[in-house]
Amino acid sequence: MAPLSKLIGGKPARQVAAQDDAQTARRERRKEARPGELLDAALDLFVEKGFAATRSEEVAARAGVSKGTLFLYFPTKEELFKAVVRENISGRFAEWNQEFEDFEGTAADMVRYCMRVWWERIGATRASGITKLMISEARNFPELAAFYQQEVIRPGTELIRRILQRGIDNGEFRALDLDYAVFSIVAPMIFLLMMKHSLGACAPQDYALDPERYVERQADTLLQGLCVRPGEGSPS
């Protein structure tokens, strides 16, 4: 029988030490993972309940941490929301702008790619609910509306503007009022999101849309209006 000094609770001291080390490692991993878990929980609750109705303690509970831990990372609900937006949308604009720089197809190809990839990376994900939330609650939270305008709307419309300008410059697209032409691409995508998170969620059998088919058909319609027609010549 092992000496008492080498036993703890009926287990060899070496085994207990190994278990303690494993528990410490798990706690450390858990601590490192907490910001991401908090952002995931916050995204789910913001989309489910809206910004106003979501309480900080609910986010902490869903993430499996204390309210104090939540405030350690995100001192206010507003800061938590901003972090969610940056994690899921605005933090990706550097990547998307680089794709624009590297794209080798036509401007028409780029319009199709832009709309399709936007659906795949945002529209088809949980992050799609952020747009619906902002449309419904922006008026009540002007600071968040200004943040969303700065971090999402402005860089998004600027990227679309660059795509359209490339088409004009290379003679593919006719002369456009770019300040308003960008909304020809934005509007059908907003409609798709709103349907997904409103009537499409409540009565999918009556408001069923195939997102991929919808995006492709919208791109077709847009490009019919954007592209220079045979005999028109390139814009001066």
Decide which of 227 and 205 is more confident. 227
Global pTM value: 0.79
Q: Name the band, by pLDDT with cuts 50, 70 and 90, for residue 153.
A: very high
- For the chain, domains (ranges, CATH) are 19-85 (1.10.10.60), 89-226 (1.10.357)
pLDDT tens for each residue of 61-107: 999 999 999 999 999 999 999 999 999 999 999 999 999 999 999 99
pLDDT for residue 4 is more than 90: no
Decide which of 235 and 99 is more confident. 99
Reduce the secondary structure of the chain to three states and give it as a string: CCCHHHEECCEEHHHHHHHHHHHHHHHHHHHHHHHHHHHHHHHHHHHHHCCCCCCHHHHHHHHCCCHHHHHHHCCCHHHHHHHHHHHHCHHHHHHHHHHHHHCCCCHHHHHHHHHHHHHHHHHCCCCHHHHHHHHHHHHHCHHHHHHHHHHHHHHHHHHHHHHHHHHHHCCCECCCCHHHHHHHHHHHHHHHHHHHCCHHHHCCCCCCCCHHHHHHHHHHHHHHHHECCCCCCCCC
Residue type, 104: E
Q: Name the band, by pLDDT with cuts 50, 70 and 90, for residue 198.
A: confident
pLDDT for residue 171 is more than 90: yes
Q: Which pLDDT belongs to residue 231?
A: 63
**Residue 173 Cα to chain centre, angstroms:** 30
pLDDT tens for each residue of 12-35: 656 555 555 544 444 443 444 478
Q: Which pLDDT belongs to residue 146?
A: 97
